[in-house]
Amino acid sequence: MGYIELCENVLASAEKLGVKEAEALVVVRRAIGVEIERAEIKTCSDVMDSGLAVRTITDKKLGFAFTNILAPKEAEATVKRAVEASTASPQDKNWKQLPEKHRYPTVNETYDKKITQFTPDEAVLLCQTMIKTAHDVDKRVLPAFGGAEVAIFEEICLNNHGVKAEDKGTSLVCALGTMARSKTQVSPTCFEFKASRKHDPDPEWIARKAAGLAIDALNVGKAEAGKFPILLDQFALQSILTFTLVPSVRGDIVARGRSIFQNKVGEQIAGENISMYDNGILTGGLRSGTMDLEGVPKQKTPIIEAGILRGFLYNDYWARFAGKQSTGNADRGGGGLSLPPYGTIPNISPTNIQLKAGTLTEEELFDEVKNGYYVRNVQGAHQSNPETGEFSVALAPAWRIQHGRMTHAVKGVMISGNVYDMLKKIPALGKETRQVGTFIAPKVVISELNVITK
């Protein structure tokens, strides 16, 4: 039985049980993973995971159940469990309905048949190449951790309001974290990766970049405390924004009154050179696709345009609560139990957040800073406060900038500030962007942050 037919049977079973609204979601995923630990291949795995999620709603009572057995009898039993759960659930007075039928966009470069033919041996070879290349750069470099992962997935969502959507995708990720040791210094971990929806790995580039950063980080010099301009790399920027800005533009957080941006749509919240979009239909985006995980089309959603707050990210429930349209940002899975996507009801998550690039080359960005710091990555961003915007993070690795050029690495340094003030203090953005996590951004110059040293 095909996945669509299985979902249709779920809806039919729910109807027989007198259910007013029902939804079936099937997620199928294969992941080939290889792990590097201390310059050796530690593990290799090839995991196939599939499951069915069922939501039923009767009299504003939600029931949910899931199974990882995609068989007709088990699907029918899952429907019954969902109905039993709804009977025991309290009424949700804010419930409106499940999503309605939509037309779906065409999204390019999210599926590569060549990746579907990938083997564990090929993944091991990619990792071996990264290890060897890092050693070839300099014998002082230790490939401390990293790996390669191939993912192939398929998603199907049907409900009794006419939603009938399916999507498939592939991805290939290679990553390496390195450390270097001299007679007097040990570098912090220096990380590089490449992720793509297509089959175009470049393990040599990853290893050379990670190894080169670790060697550069051995040249440690004096750090100075005070208020300085900071050049944030994409790694550091996404870490800070993920734990501050992103929660504050989620529709559920806004509705609960826990966002600084509540009632501020249309107001200036950033510099005029700041424009930011959540783009779920971006060509080749790591989180691009035709639909979200409740069958709503993904789209390009303005968050900030020329510094003006334009709107928030929604799944269908919170969009209806706010009197808005869903932005196609329903996600599933995760939580404290690290459940698979079919293991939870929908939440809200960004897709590909694009920060509009500027015009400066990397050399011009350093010249813009003149006397400050270049921050490649940070630690401790998860302890930031999204409601106030306050953050304090350790820099690892980072370098001093003097007279517009990078002079030496620094250790034992932290920066602190307020992200919502920071958005108004970005005088320059680079013209080159890359995707790190959910963010696609250039390097950015912050005119002033607090620098704390030991």
pLDDT tens for 300-357 read 999 999 999 999 999 999 999 999 999 999 999 987 788 999 999 999 999 999 999 9
Q: In what order do the strands lie in the sheet containing 21-37?
A: 61-67, 40-58, 21-37, 141-159, 164-180, 190-196
Q: Where are the domains of the chain?
A: 3-216, 226-453
pTM: 0.95
pLDDT at 338 (0 to 100) = 87
Farthest-apart Cα atoms in the chain, separation: 75
Residue type, 379: Q
pLDDT digits (tens, 9 = 90+) for 13-57: 999 999 999 999 999 999 999 999 999 999 999 999 999 999 999
272 SS3 class: coil
Question: Is 453 a residue whose pLDDT tops 80?
Answer: yes
Mean pLDDT of 260-289: 98
pLDDT digits (tens, 9 = 90+) for 162-196: 999 999 999 999 999 999 999 999 999 999 999 99
Mean pLDDT of 415-433: 98
pLDDT at 74 (0 to 100) = 98
pLDDT at 326 (0 to 100) = 99
pLDDT at 336 (0 to 100) = 74
Phi, psi angles (nearest 5°) of residue 3: -65, -40
pLDDT digits (tens, 9 = 90+) for 45-67: 999 999 999 999 999 999 999 99
- Running DSSP on this structure, what letter comes out for residue 265? T
Residue 187 near residue 214 (C-beta atoms within 8 A): yes
Residues of the chain with pLDDT > 70, as a percent, come to 100
Mean pLDDT of 224-235: 98
- 30-43 in b/e form (b: 16+ CB < 10 A) is bebbbbbeebeeee
- Running DSSP on this structure, what letter comes out for residue 283? T
pLDDT at 454 (0 to 100) = 87
Q: Domain 3-216 sits in which CATH superfamily?
A: PmbA/TldD superfamily (3.30.2290.10)
Question: Is 204 a residue whose pLDDT tops 90?
Answer: yes
